[in-house]
Amino acid sequence: MKIEFETPTFEREHPIIKEGGEGTQKIWRFENGFGASVVRFSIANLFGRKEKIGSYGVDKGLWELAVIKFKGKKILDYKICYTTKITDNVIGHLTEDEVEKILKRISKLKENKNGRNKENK
């Protein structure tokens, strides 16, 4: 399966726009039940600040990625997964190429009974 930054399973405006912000969310879903939520969003002038605040790296045009685990068939029915060897948090300050590399790793994850998820080599 070819994994490319420009072809997510789902893409939408980031929900932060309801709060006066701007941004994008891209979601990938893989056959192993894992996926990624990749975001870039900002909220201008929050609390009177002059700099942009939001996702990690937004000020440089970079992306933030969370490994997700789907709970059902709907594309938004997921939870962030904090128990993979890839990361135990979100990963920020990513270029599109770096996102693609991590997406490939996520697509190879397999479920582990003890809660820590492994990568298939």
Residue range 70-118, pLDDT digits in tens: 999 999 999 999 999 999 999 999 999 999 999 999 999 998 765 556 5
Residue 23 φ/ψ region, left for φ over 0, alpha for ψ in the -120 to 50 degree band, beta for the rest: left
What one-letter code names the amino acid at 27? I
Q: What is the dihedral of CA 97, 12, 29, 9, to 10 degrees?
A: -80
> 40 and 22 in contact (C-beta within 8 Å)?
no
Question: Is 0.85 surpassed by the pTM of this model?
Answer: yes
DSSP states along 52-82: -EESTTGGGT-EEEEEEEE-SSSTT-EEE--
Question: Residue 63: which pLDDT band, with cuts at 50, 70 and 90?
Answer: very high
